[in-house]
């Protein structure tokens, strides 16, 4: 029986089949529930820590297999991906892993088992880079699991590896930073779209899938989440999905030419015109003449086009450099180059703004952070839509910054009010009113605002 499900509907909550806390979080978070707090180490291996004896006891059902190995290979640290595969092997072999069911619906047959997960075995066999990674990983795995434990035969191991690559999720903390990875059986049934209607959020290691858009005549096959960050040009998204998940995305934005043109656009040289002017990625081979604005007819000069292309080259190189850490000075230089040249919808400029925003916050440069954040919101709304956790995060951060200041003008108070209203709506829909992001963070901002 199909029914209408509104936005904000909680579709499922699920514990991970297996999960691993990333090793860079080891001293900060409990290895079992991923919460931070007062931790004490496992007395046997000293390599993982727990927030309580309850977590330690619950974790033991799987940690007991890896604990002696962690101790044996010390001071070497087991890489996260290796630990994850080892955990899957233990789970399958000793904890009835093959029979474990992950339900996505309440129907008797609405579940998935580990064996149901897509492995893309054939594709993997033709993927030289991943096969190479797999061989390296297998060697480390063998060393880690020790000689008393026989590894599954290579073809089975490759299937496990494939299922992990295709189906695992990054587990994120309350500020959307990745802190671990998890494999969820029921959740694995959702396909990808670059304009998803559902979102995965976490509370510790527990995943929830919630609708961000209503679905008339609900059916599980109508639910889509996004596997990648969609704030990148169509060609890059398609290639990331192709290389990572072995499919050709045919979602509505991947087929939408206008969207692509906006993502790669220059601002019109005519200051009175706000129309984006599309500059194709291979403009040099493609357009013999400089493009013209389709709205006001203004011609882009060769020197303007050259400056744009130079700035684009520069930015792409900087973004590549800043994959791990954002540097404020690099972002500032980049943004000076794009100013007046790149349209506010240009995704490369938006990526730099995103880095600049976090770097400025890290350094307590509030005025700059505020300025970057406001521009970022424009782009996030365009490409993520009004209801998206990352837009919610940006809004919450800006509100926090604005609340640090005294409002001089009444309209600043209005702006804060409109930001917090949208943030509240987003968090309610994407996380729900029971989530700590709502109960603690959003509520305390609302209280602060009322007390001003
Ligand atoms: Zn814990
Ligand atoms: Zn241990
Ligand atoms: Zn797509
Ligand atoms: Zn124009």
Task: Give the residue from 169, 194, 219 where a domain finishes.
Answer: 194
Q: For residue 277, which ligand has an atom nearest its CA? A: 4
Residue 205 has pLDDT above 60, yes or no: yes
What's the pLDDT at 113? 98
Task: Give the residue from 168, 194, 220 where a domain finishes.
Answer: 194
Q: For residue 43, which ligand has an atom nearest its CA? A: 2
Residue 363 sits in which domain range?
297-450
320 and 174 in a common domain: no
Q: Which residues contact 232 (CB under 8 A, 6 or more apart)?
A: 240, 263, 347, 351
Q: Report how far ligand 3's centroid is from the alpha carbon of 26 (Å).
A: 35
Q: Report how far ligand 2's centroid is from the alpha carbon of 161 (Å).
A: 24
Q: Report how far ligand 4's centroid is from the alpha carbon of 273 (Å).
A: 5
Q: Report how far ligand 4's centroid is from the alpha carbon of 303 (Å).
A: 17
- Asked if the structure places residue 413 within a domain, the reply is yes
Q: What is the pLDDT of residues 312-340, one digit of tens each?
A: 999 999 999 998 889 999 999 999 999 99
Under the banding of pLDDT at 50, 70 and 90, the label for residue 148 is confident
Q: Report how far ligand 4's centroid is from the alpha carbon of 162 (Å).
A: 49
Q: What is the pLDDT of residues 376-424, one digit of tens each?
A: 999 999 999 999 999 999 999 999 998 887 766 777 788 889 999 999 9
- Region 79-103: mean pLDDT is 97
What's the pLDDT at 65? 96
* Angle of the 443-450 helix axis to the 389-404 helix axis, nearest 10: 30
431 and 303 in a common domain: yes
- Region 135-148: mean pLDDT is 94
- Asked if the structure places residue 261 within a domain, the reply is no
Give residues whose Cβ lies within 5 Å of ion ligand 4.
Answer: 268, 270, 273, 275, 293, 295-296, 298
- Region 22-31: mean pLDDT is 94
φ, ψ of residue 225 to 5 degrees: the values are: -115, 170
Q: For residue 252, which ligand has an atom nearest its CA? A: 3
Q: Report how far ligand 4's centroid is from the alpha carbon of 304 (Å).
A: 14
- Asked if the structure places residue 268 within a domain, the reply is no
Give the Cα-Cα-Cα angle 9, 10, 15 (nearest 5 degrees): 170
CATH (domain of 390): 1.25.40.10
What's the pLDDT at 450? 79
Q: Report how far ligand 2's centroid is from the alpha carbon of 64 (Å).
A: 7
- Asked if the structure places residue 238 within a domain, the reply is no
176 and 311 in a common domain: no
- Region 210-216: mean pLDDT is 97
- Asked if the structure places residue 340 within a domain, the reply is yes
- Region 66-95: mean pLDDT is 96
Q: Report how far ligand 4's centroid is from the alpha carbon of 292 (Å).
A: 8
Under the banding of pLDDT at 50, 70 and 90, the label for residue 54 is very high
Q: What is the pLDDT of residues 224-273, one digit of tens each?
A: 999 999 999 999 999 999 999 999 999 999 999 999 999 999 999 999 99
Residue 1 has pLDDT above 60, yes or no: no
Q: Report how far ligand 2's centroid is from the alpha carbon of 91 (Å).
A: 17
Mean of pLDDT over the chain: 94
- Asked if the structure places residue 408 within a domain, the reply is yes
- Asked if the structure places residue 269 within a domain, the reply is no
- Asked if the structure places residue 92 within a domain, the reply is yes
Looking at the 3D structure of the chain, how many domains does it have?
Answer: 2
Task: Give the residue from 150, 175, 194 where a domain finishes.
Answer: 194
Q: For residue 74, which ligand has an atom nearest its CA? A: 2
Q: Report how far ligand 3's centroid is from the alpha carbon of 44 (Å).
A: 47
């Amino acid at each position: 029986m199909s029914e209408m499900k509104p936005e904000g509907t909680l579709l499922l909550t699920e514990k991970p089949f297996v999960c691993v806390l990333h090793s860079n979080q080891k001293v900060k978070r409990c290895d079992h529930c991923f919460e931070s707090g007062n931790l004490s180490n496992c007395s046997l291996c000293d390599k993982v820590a727990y927030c309580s004896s309850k977590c330690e006891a619950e974790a033991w059902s799987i940690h007991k297999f890896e604990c002696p190995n962690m101790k044996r290979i010390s001071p070497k640290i087991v890489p996260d991906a290796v630990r994850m595969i080892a955990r899957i092997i233990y789970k399958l072999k000793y904890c009835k892993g093959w029979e474990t069911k992950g339900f996505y619906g309440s129907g008797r047959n609405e579940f998935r088992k580990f064996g149901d997960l897509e492995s893309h075995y054939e594709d993997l066999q033709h993927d030289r880079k991943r096969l190479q990674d797999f061989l390296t990983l297998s060697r480390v795995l063998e060393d880690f699991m020790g000689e008393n434990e026989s590894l599954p035969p290579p073809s089975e191991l490759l299937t496990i590896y494939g299922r992990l690559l295709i189906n695992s999720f990054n587990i994120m903390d309350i500020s959307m930073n990745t802190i671990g990875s998890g494999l969820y059986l029921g959740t694995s049934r959702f396909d990808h779209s670059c304009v998803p209607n559902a979102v995965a959020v976490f509370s510790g290691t527990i995943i929830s899938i919630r609708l961000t858009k209503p679905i008339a005549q609900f059916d599980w096959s109508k639910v889509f989440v996004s596997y990648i960050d969609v704030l990148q040009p169509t060609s890059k998204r398609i290639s990331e999905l192709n290389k990572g998940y072995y499919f050709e995305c045919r979602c509505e934005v991947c087929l939408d030419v206008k969207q692509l043109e906006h993502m790669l656009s220059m601002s019109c040289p005519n200051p009175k015109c706000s129309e984006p002017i599309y500059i194709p990625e291979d403009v040099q081979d493609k357009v013999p003449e400089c493009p013209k604005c389709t709205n006001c007819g203004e011609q882009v000069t060769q020197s303007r086009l050259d400056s744009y292309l130079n700035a684009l080259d520069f930015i792409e190189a900087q973004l590549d450099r800043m994959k791990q850490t954002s540097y404020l000075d690099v972002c500032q230089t980049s943004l000076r180059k794009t100013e007046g040249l790149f349209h506010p919808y240009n995704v490369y400029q938006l990526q730099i703004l995103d880095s600049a925003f976090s770097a400025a916050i890290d350094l307590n440069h509030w005025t700059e952070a505020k300025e970057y954040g406001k521009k970022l919101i424009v782009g996030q709304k365009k490409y993520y839509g009004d209801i998206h956790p990352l837009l919610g995060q940006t809004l919450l951060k800006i509100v926090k910054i604005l609340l640090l200041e005294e409002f001089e003008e009444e309209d600043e108070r209005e702006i804060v009010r409109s930001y917090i209203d949208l943030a509240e709506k987003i968090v309610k829909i994407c996380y729900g009113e029971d989530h700590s992001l709502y109960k603690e963070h959003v509520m305390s901002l609302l209280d602060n605002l009322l007390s001003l």
